[in-house]
Amino acid sequence: MNHDTPLSTAWLQALRAQARQAPRRPRLPLVVAGHTLGSVEDAVLGTLPGAAGLGLSRQLDARGPSWHLRAEPTEAGITAALEPLALALRAAGRCGPWRNEALAVVGAQGQRLGTIERGAVRVLGLATQAVHLVGLAPDGRHWVQQRAHDKPNDPGLWDTLMGGMVSAADTLHQALARETWEEAGLHVEQMPALSHGGHVEFARPSAEGGGCGYMVERIDWFVCEVPAGRAPENQDGEVAQFALLTREELVRRVAAGEFTLEASLIIAASLGL
């Protein structure tokens, strides 16, 4: 019997379809200092108290309606305009969990244009970046983690060895190193054969902001070998437990829906499915 069949055919196709979904409701482009940076449901900004005082205006041109946020065309200016908008969305109950963590706001070519509080990115449809680590034991088994049961997103589900956002203060490799230590107590420079495995992309509705969010994210994933005798040990309280799984166990449990969508697609890619 081919144990990979449920994951490598219809089930994996369904996973990929979940990762690429149209918004639940129409969204308008969000333009900041002339850059189209995200998208937003019309009513979210249309009913936001003090919208005009925040520099927001709804405009119409040949391409249709869009929301514009007035800002100086510099990184500092765009950040200064986005900060009160994020706070206003929070006050109106239109944010995800507020973490006091700034994420980079990037343009169409990936250039950094400003920063914004993490809790506001989904409501505004802003693109984000994350990093994951697929950890292998010397015998080929896979190290995986169970997310803490009090995590705001996907509590109790299973994940790769490490997964986390790339903050505004980090490069991709800095985020990889920081998150690997915080979640697994491991130093990436001490792990053999660390390599970039690939990336997965998501564009799908988000429950944040009362269901008005939209997730646009690129996740770069890396592969490493965890040395023998170096079991992961969580440092930040965000992991319930770690486990070592054979390929067959991993495929079965991913196919059973025990892992997050992000981890499931990364694991499938890492296994060549």
- For the chain, domains (ranges, CATH) are 5-21+128-270 (3.90.79.10), 28-119 (3.30.750.160)
Eight-class DSSP state of 226: P
Indicate whether 23 pLDDT > 80. yes
* Residue 8 pLDDT: 53
Q: Which residue has the tokens 């564009």?
A: 203
- Tens of pLDDT, residue by residue over 217-265, are 999 999 999 998 889 999 999 999 999 999 999 999 999 999 999 999 9
Report the 10 Å Cβ neighbour count for 56: 20
- pTM for the predicted model, two decimal places: 0.90
Angle, nearest 10°, between helix axes 247-255 and 261-270? Answer: 140
* Residue 11 pLDDT: 81
**Residues with Cβ < 8 Å from 195, sequence gap 6 or more?**
222, 223, 224
Helix or strand (DSSP H, E) at 240: strand 239-245
Indicate whether 4 pLDDT > 50. no
**pLDDT band, very low/low/confident/very high, at 110 (cuts 50, 70, 90):** confident
Q: In the predicted model, what is the mean pLDDT of residues 45-67?
A: 94
SS3 232: coil
- Tens of pLDDT, residue by residue over 115-162, are 999 999 999 999 999 999 999 999 999 999 999 999 988 999 999 999
> Do 237 and 190 touch, CB atoms closer than 8 A?
no
> Do 125 and 216 touch, CB atoms closer than 8 A?
yes
Q: In the Cβ-directed half-sphere of 215, how many Cα atoms lie within 13 Å?
A: 22
Angstrom CA distances, 113 to 63, 72, 145, 217, 271, stand at 24, 11, 34, 17, 36
Instruction: Show the CA angle centred on residue 25, arms to residues 104 and 48, nearest 5°.
Output: 65
Q: In the predicted model, what is the mean pLDDT of residues 13-31?
A: 95
Q: What is the mean pLDDT of the chain?
A: 93
Indicate whether 1 pLDDT > 90. no
Helix ranges restricted to H, the chain: 5-8, 10-19, 42-46, 75-91, 172-184, 208-211, 247-255, 261-270
- Tens of pLDDT, residue by residue over 149-165, are 999 889 999 999 999 99
* Residue 5 pLDDT: 46
Distance between CA atoms of 118 and 101, rounded to whole angstroms? 6
Pairing outcome for strands 56-61 and 64-69: antiparallel
Distance between CA atoms of 78 and 23, rounded to whole angstroms? 26
